[in-house]
Structure 1
């Protein structure tokens, strides 16, 4: 059983009694679910994940006023719930405490997106790490009659504003081309094996990030970046297989061939979406063309490398 299913079943078994008891008057104001950091929220957890910050539990999100009124009492009641369920206990580390239990909605979102109501400007959107947006939109909401938590979640799930997405796609084209199509071969020719490995890793990271952007999905924490490709319809499985082949290859010429194939696939997808009209096989030639499509003057004035 994965963590999301366990959390939902745990809530179904004990959450009703919790909300129907002394907190019945607040039931329609409390949001319940599991979201945030952790492989369980992404649905990627397995047996290995169960040794830390995993197990039966759920989040209860309250408005600021409700948290002040009943937060402490609700947390005490939550802590009285059974510590094990369906044969699983909860393993908590000092770094994972506070992931479940009673939380204030605005503060919870602020830790990920720097503002209780989410990004307020295009530049706010641009600055937030993709992994943080992925974390706070992962997981599942089990109960939210008030719709306060879910309303903010839906706004984030609708993805970046178009101009921000364009800025990021343009910037990825530049960094992918620089690290993979240019620097990788040059540093390898000099015998700089560390720099070559770093360029290869940078290339893979940014190429995978581009695939998430094309699919209008936030790229998760690096540990799950590659695995998450399998769920993406546009280039996901192709890039997953090709990246695996690239990092597994022992021959420099084979690596360069994989880099060329990945870049060609990315360019074809950019052309298919109508984001570039260039036939160049170099991604750095496509970045500025995509950046020019940004409508907001202030955002367009930024360097194409920013994103």
Structure 2
């Protein structure tokens, strides 16, 4: 049995032993970028049972793409460290996964725009965070200077965009926080659990935003959240929300989580301090944070004219939750019109 090696380490050895000798003195950059758990460093031995093997991107000048692609294609070994170099999965025929392209072409294909030419506010908002992770989170094995500036530019949102996204995430919580009690009150106990679970997910994504960390796709959201570290016990409290059988326990855990997030928000120092105490929802028997107060505090700090004109629909990850949409560049780029005023 082949001993498991992470895709990052497999790619590093494959680049050093196979790719670099082929390219010699040619200027290029190379890395494990784009889609997949392995790009994020979340792969395990289980990952090797499906579409697994050495893969990487090689970025060269446009006039070098064709000759380098042929050079690579003609000289790849059949296997590397016991893994097939040409592999497939499901309906994918076995092929090698060494992609030779120019950086501008790849960025346009992967993100929907060439980030080397700049990133507009609309580009930030319409690009799924997982796609941004595909650029900034993967391993880089060689760089002649063309890749690092792009990774630095895309590492995190500009402050105005970030604070506006914080406002939109707080808004999602504000819209639903009283529903946990109201659904239970009318006997919809399942509905109360579902709303609570939605709010837990929104709190997790808010925590990632506060830590300036892009959220990966659903399979790895919990892993990314756990890796933040939670000295205040937020992870434990959110688990209590999901485990609660009774409304009183569910609501108690939720408002505890809200209080923790309120204090995290104030610690950021990006807005005026907001009272972190929870309160009754008007004259109804629901306990809430009143997250709309944090929305208003964030909006007050935004200066970008476009963002100030927009409804609080959020970035694409905040208003869309469909895998085919979020993973298909042409599809999500069509939605950029939502930011036109």
Q: TM-score range by the shorter chain?
A: 0.7 to 0.9
Alignment map for 1:175-194 (pairs within 5 Å): 175-179=172-176, 181-193=177-189
Q: Deviations over 1:195-241 (max 9, x none)?
A: 434423321222122112111121111111111123325x4883333
2:14–2:80 CA contact under 8 A, matched in 1: no
1-side partners of 2:147 and 2:51: how far apart?
23
Q: Deviations over 1:157-182 (max 9, x none)?
A: 1x101110011000100102323x22
1-side partners of 2:190 and 2:173: how far apart?
18
1:163 aligns to what? 160
Selected match of 2:103 from 102, 105, 113:
105
Number of residues of Structure 1 aligned to a counterpart in Structure 2: 294
1:257 aligns to what? 252
Residues 190/182 of structure 1: CA separation in 2 closer, same or farther (3 Å cut): same
Residues 149/187 of structure 1: CA separation in 2 closer, same or farther (3 Å cut): same
Q: CA RMSD in A?
A: 2.5
Q: Which has the higher helix share?
A: 1
Residues 176/89 of structure 1: CA separation in 2 closer, same or farther (3 Å cut): farther
2:295 aligns to what? 287
Q: Deviations over 1:259-283 (max 9, x none)?
A: 1111111100111122242215321
Shift of 1:184: 2.3
Residues 83/168 of structure 1: CA separation in 2 closer, same or farther (3 Å cut): same
Question: Alignment partner of 1:58: what SS?
Answer: strand
2:48 aligns to what? 50
Question: Alignment partner of 1:37: what SS?
Answer: coil
2-side partners of 1:216 and 1:236: how far apart?
17
Q: Is 1:4 matched up with 2:8?
A: yes
2:121 aligns to what? 122
Q: Deviations over 1:14-55 (max 9, x none)?
A: 2232223xxx4x2xx221110121111111111211122322
Residues 108/243 of structure 1: CA separation in 2 closer, same or farther (3 Å cut): farther
Provide the TM-score with structure 1 as the length reference. Answer: 0.85
2-side partners of 1:100 and 1:13: how far apart?
14
Question: Alignment partner of 1:36: what SS?
Answer: coil
1-side partners of 2:14 and 2:237: how far apart?
40
Provide the TM-score with structure 2 as the length reference. Answer: 0.77
1:32–1:142 CA contact under 8 A, matched in 2: yes
Question: Alignment partner of 1:148: what SS?
Answer: coil
2:264 aligns to what? 269
Shift of 1:296: 1.3
1:302 aligns to what? 310
In structure 2, stretches of 5+ residues that fail to align are 277-288, 316-341
2-side partners of 1:73 and 1:271: how far apart?
55
In structure 1, stretches of 5+ residues that fail to align are none
